[in-house]
Structure 1
Amino acid sequence: MLQSKHEESSTMASSIHSRRLKYLSLGVLVLQTTSLVLTLRYSRTLKEDAPRYLASSAVVSAEVIKIVVCTLLVFMENDFSARAMSKLLEEEIVRKPLESMKLAIPAGIYTLQNNLLYVALSNLDAATYQVTYQLKILTTALFSVSMLGKRLGSYQWLSLLFLMAGVTLVQWPMPTGGDSEQKVLSASNQFVGLMAVLMACISSGFAGVYFEKILKETKQSLWFRNIQLGMMAYDGERVTQSGMFQGYNKITCTVVLLQALGGLVIAMVIKYADNILKGFASSLSIITSSLISYFLLEDFNPTGVFFTGAALVIAATLLYSYERKPTSGSTVKV
């Protein structure tokens, strides 16, 4: 009897601890996503006499930090044994060169995607970027259907329609004041930012599904390799002239740390949370970014059309994550 009560108490404590970790991870995700978008936007629009930092340099710095942190975590998992760590690296990388080459594809795409993030937020306000970037749900769904043969439920197809309608309204051109030259410049920036977001959504969807496909075929972990080559391809001349860390300041370092933190936070959310709560986190991030962009950055003037589009995107995000429970005697695939 006493043992039964002890087991029940232990199970309850474990459930409470798991629930706390779930909401803690989601809270951290909302904070990290919102902070990254707003800080990055601020860093790319801040007017200074010094040269602006290189986006490719920030991407490389963030990836190096992630590699160091992940290596330390793996080292901890192996009880701080250098021999066990060396054996693991030899088994997973040296003896499996073809598997490593497969993983180089999504690694390269993610690097490109992170560079596109800087281009997009240099030309779009944080709120518009956040809403438009939810199109990655659409690209991920389409790649999942075509590459993995997944079947989407009626709720998910409906959410994709909501998503496309919402993003269309958010990007709907609004009449602006000022001279014609300023209008052309604004429209040009908006177009560049939109193209960058769309390319990021496509690369995000493909890389995510491709990585999922690889994970089902192998147990090997993802290791980023040769990221420095990407930096030299983008800004080789400027790096040669002024160095890799030109234009770095406290804000730049904050952006790099937040971007490095992103991958670790996502891993924590995947472990402790579920798709529905991740949908809520994305929605909260959109709302928070819009409010801060309007009240603090003052680079965003919401309209009724924008609010309608944003509401549709938030609804689509939540609806896509919704899983209808099957009734007795029937099964529903979502």
Structure 2
Amino acid sequence: MADSTKNAAANTANGTEEAGKGSAGTAKKEGASVVFKLYCLAVLTVMAASYTVLMRYTRTVEGVRYYSTTTVFVTECAKMFFTLCILLKEHKGSIRKVTQELKGNIVGKPMEMLKMSVPSIVYAIQNNMTFIGLSNLDAATYQVTYQMKIPCTALLSVMMLGRSLSSMQWIAVFVLTGGVILVQGIGGEAVSHTSGTEGSYVVGLTALTIAVFCSGFAGVYFEKLLKGSDTSLWVRNVQMYTWGMLSAFLGVVMHDWQNVRENGFLYGYTPLVWLVVLLGSGGGIYTSIVVKYTDNIMKGFAAAAAIVLSTVASIMFMGLVVGWMFVLGASLVIAAIFLYGLPKTNTEKLPARKSGTAQNV
């Protein structure tokens, strides 16, 4: 994954430098860009849809219910493990070089570590809220409603990154909002269940609202830190996951410590739960790659495709029944996501990076 990212970033940078030298350079740039975006689209779509459906299944259908706080902590540990493996590979297996780099950027830069505590803590809150949301809402309703993170992220991008959105993008935001209202069916009647555990609709929706804001804020804040400095993507991830592990463990102590002491830390874990952990950790790492190298068009396509896949999976395996309001609302949401990604102009006003920086990540 790391090699593919570096190669795609290098090809994109080379294509940019040759943009004025003729059609050959332009074609090269566009070809690399399309291939990389399609690759990102496929991975994001599969991970998002699979993670949503499997998490919902393990929280409502399977027998013994595991503790969501411990799953969040284990996922953060897995992210750290995979990130350290990538760093070790980039340094050709030299533990000494990895240690020196981490020491210089973590111990030697305490203020940078402090900055990274913000998104990691917010992400930990978001992860716990998504567990609560999925425990009380079906996967399809969760997936569509969670797309409210797009207007939330748009507003925060304007305020925090100085971006300007086109009129088409703002129209897409309102279309998206209308679609989500239809999906909710004014009381949740757009979606009914034929199997599984029923939960509290209000609790699920409230938790999801908190998760949406956390997702938007943490994502924009992390993007600002990531693109505003020359620090390696993987070093940034180590900084963030260090705080993420601490905040996630605090969540275990505050909410489930007594249960953990009585039944064990991994109580209720099955192969499917471990698969949820794997998808969550892989998705978290891949999200940082997407933030670094791609744009909202890619995220929009992935989100739209994930809605379709998770809905089909819920109908096939979890007895979900959808009404016409859900179908209409979901169609508006998908249309809005595509509409939001139509403008191809760069609306980002972050400081320009030095030439070749992307290749050093």
1:306, CA displacement in angstroms?
A: 0.9
Partner Cα distance (1:74, 1:137) in 2 = 31
Q: What does the per-residue CA deviation read over 1:92-130, in whole Å, with 9 as the maximum and x for residues that have no partner?
A: 000111210111111011011111111111111111000
The change in CA–CA distance for 1:268 and 1:146 in structure 2 (over 3 A counts) is: closer
* Worse overlay, 304-313 or 233-242: 233-242
- Matched with 1:215 is 226
Counterpart AA for 2:343: E
Counterpart AA for 1:159: A
Q: Tell me if the contact between 1:38 and 1:289 (Cα under 8 Å) persists in the aligned partners.
A: yes
- Matched with 1:182 is none
Partner Cα distance (1:212, 1:269) in 2 = 10
SS for the counterpart of 2:339 is helix
Q: Which runs of 5+ in 1 are unaligned?
A: 1-7, 179-184
Q: Which residue of the other structure, out of 336, 339, 346, is the alignment partner of 1:316?
A: 336
- Matched with 1:181 is none
Counterpart AA for 2:116: L
SS for the counterpart of 1:301 is strand
The change in CA–CA distance for 1:97 and 1:204 in structure 2 (over 3 A counts) is: same
Q: What does the per-residue CA deviation read over 1:51-94, in whole Å, with 9 as the maximum and x for residues that have no partner?
A: x1110111111111110110111111122222221211111000
* Worse overlay, 88-97 or 10-19: 10-19
Alignment of 1:84-123 (within 5 A): 84-123=97-136
Alignment of 1:209-248 (within 5 A): 209-220=220-231, 221-222=236-237, 223=239, 224-225=241-242, 226=246, 227-248=248-269
Alignment of 1:1-334 (within 5 A): 19-48=34-63, 50=64, 52-172=65-185, 173=187, 189-220=200-231, 221-222=236-237, 223=239, 224-225=241-242, 226=246, 227-270=248-291, 273-298=294-319, 300-324=320-344
The change in CA–CA distance for 1:175 and 1:269 in structure 2 (over 3 A counts) is: closer
1:9, CA displacement in angstroms?
A: 9.8
Q: Which has the larger radius of gyration?
A: 1
The change in CA–CA distance for 1:14 and 1:250 in structure 2 (over 3 A counts) is: same
Partner Cα distance (1:124, 1:144) in 2 = 28
Partner Cα distance (1:101, 1:272) in 2 = 24
Q: Which runs of 5+ in 2 are unaligned?
A: 1-22, 350-361
Q: Tell me if the contact between 1:61 and 1:256 (Cα under 8 Å) persists in the aligned partners.
A: yes
1:218, CA displacement in angstroms?
A: 3.7
The change in CA–CA distance for 1:211 and 1:174 in structure 2 (over 3 A counts) is: closer
Q: Tell me if the contact between 1:30 and 1:284 (Cα under 8 Å) persists in the aligned partners.
A: yes
The change in CA–CA distance for 1:271 and 1:97 in structure 2 (over 3 A counts) is: closer
Partner Cα distance (2:189, 2:40) in 1 = 41
Partner Cα distance (1:121, 1:29) in 2 = 19
Q: What does the per-residue CA deviation read over 1:144-168, in whole Å, with 9 as the maximum and x for residues that have no partner?
A: 1222332211011111101111111
Counterpart AA for 2:38: Y
1:18, CA displacement in angstroms?
A: 6.0
Partner Cα distance (1:128, 1:139) in 2 = 18
Q: What does the per-residue CA deviation read over 1:210-247, in whole Å, with 9 as the maximum and x for residues that have no partner?
A: 22232354444132222322321221221122111011
Q: What does the per-residue CA deviation read over 1:152-194, in whole Å, with 9 as the maximum and x for residues that have no partner?
A: 1101111110111111111122559x9xxxxxx96x6111111
1:205, CA displacement in angstroms?
A: 0.8
Q: Tell me if the contact between 2:164 and 2:348 (Cα under 8 Å) persists in the aligned partners.
A: no
Q: Tell me if the contact between 2:134 and 2:142 (Cα under 8 Å) persists in the aligned partners.
A: yes
Counterpart AA for 1:34: A
* Worse overlay, 278-287 or 118-127: 278-287
Counterpart AA for 1:192: V
The alignment of Structure 1 onto Structure 2 pairs a total of residues equal to 311
Q: Tell me if the contact between 2:223 and 2:291 (Cα under 8 Å) persists in the aligned partners.
A: no
Q: Tell me if the contact between 2:162 and 2:348 (Cα under 8 Å) persists in the aligned partners.
A: no
- Matched with 1:3 is none
Counterpart AA for 1:215: L
